[in-house]
Amino acid sequence: MRNRFPSFSLSSYGTGWSANRRIAIVASAVAVLLAIAGIVALLTGGGNSHQATATAAPAPTGSPSSSEAAPKPSSGSGSVPKPPQIAEPVAYAKAAAQMLWSYDTRDTNHDRQLAGMRAWMTTETKYADWASVSSQVPDPVLWSRMADQDQHATASVTEGHYPSAFKAALADDPSAITEAYIYVVTVNGKQTLSWKEGGGGAEKRAVTLAVQCRPNHDCTLAAIAPSVTQ
Helix (H, G, I), strand (E, B) or coil at 158: strand
Q: Which residues of 72-100 are buried (b: 16+ CB within 10 A; e: fewer)?
A: ebeeebbbbeebeebeebbbbbbbbbbbb
pLDDT at 18: 54
Cα of first residue to Cα of last residue in the chain, in angstroms, is 28
Could you list the pLDDT tens digit for every one of the 230 residues in the chain?
444 444 444 334 333 445 455 544 544 444 333 333 334 344 434 433 333 323 323 333 333 333 334 344 334 457 899 999 999 999 999 999 999 999 999 999 999 999 999 999 999 998 999 999 999 999 999 999 999 999 999 999 999 999 998 998 888 888 889 989 999 999 999 999 999 988 899 999 999 999 999 999 999 999 999 889 88
Q: Are 113 and 103 in contact (CB under 8 A)?
A: yes
pLDDT at 173: 85
Measured CA to CA, the distance from residue 21 to residue 108 in angstroms comes to 29
pLDDT at 211: 96
Q: Of 141, 165, 213, 148, give the one whose Cα is nearest residue 49.
A: 165
In terms of Cβ atoms closer than 10 Å to its own Cβ (0-12, 13-18, 19+), residue 123 is exposed
pLDDT at 169: 85
Q: Which helix (H) or strand (E) holds 200?
A: strand 200-212
Measured CA to CA, the distance from residue 222 to residue 208 in angstroms comes to 11
pLDDT at 21: 54
pTM of the predicted protein model = 0.73
pLDDT at 230: 85
Measured CA to CA, the distance from residue 104 to residue 109 in angstroms comes to 9
Phi, psi of 153 (to 5 degrees): -145, 145
